[in-house]
Copies of this chain bind each other. A is one copy, B any other.
Amino acid sequence: MDKNHFKLATAALEPDRLKRELLDDKAGAAVCFEGWVRNHHAGEAVTALEYESHAGIAEKEGQRILDEAVSRFEIIAAFGQHRVGRLEIGDCAVWVGVSAAHRGAAFDACRYIIDELKARVPIWKKEHYVEGPSGWVNCATRGAQATHS
């Protein structure tokens, strides 16, 4: 079995099933990150989100990030998935899971992966607001986005 892979998903993510792939007798620690659709962004009430991507390039770049994590940190397994399509409030948009012998490496690698995924993988979100038109989360808001969400 591959011990690290990144995929785009068109259907609901299944974090509990994904997490079981991290299991390993040598693993003493697992850290999982889930990104959920929030009901607000930059002060505006959000009702739903749409994610668009370029599957081929996104999966290649995501895989590169997971490979980097494996070579930088003492980890056993690392997986990531990102949704595309329309999501509702509370839906899981992105999941990252890492297992390691020790917890420090698991935390560091998980954070590295999600930070890099958010900065480098070509995925865009369009927010649907309670009031006013929908908008692509663009350049102007993305700087804050990368550090804050």
Contact = CB atoms under 8 A, between A and B. Distances in A.
Interface of A: 15-16, 19, 23, 25-40, 89-90, 99, 101-104, 106-107, 110-111, 114, 147-149
Which secondary structure dominates where chain A touches chain B? Answer: mixed
Give 7 closest A-B pairs by Cβ, nearest first: A28-B38, A25-B39, A16-B16, A30-B34, A102-B148, A32-B32, A28-B149
A135 to B, nearest CB: 18
A27 B23 CA distance: 27
Contacts of A16: 16
A29 to B, nearest CB: 6
A106 B90 CA distance: 16
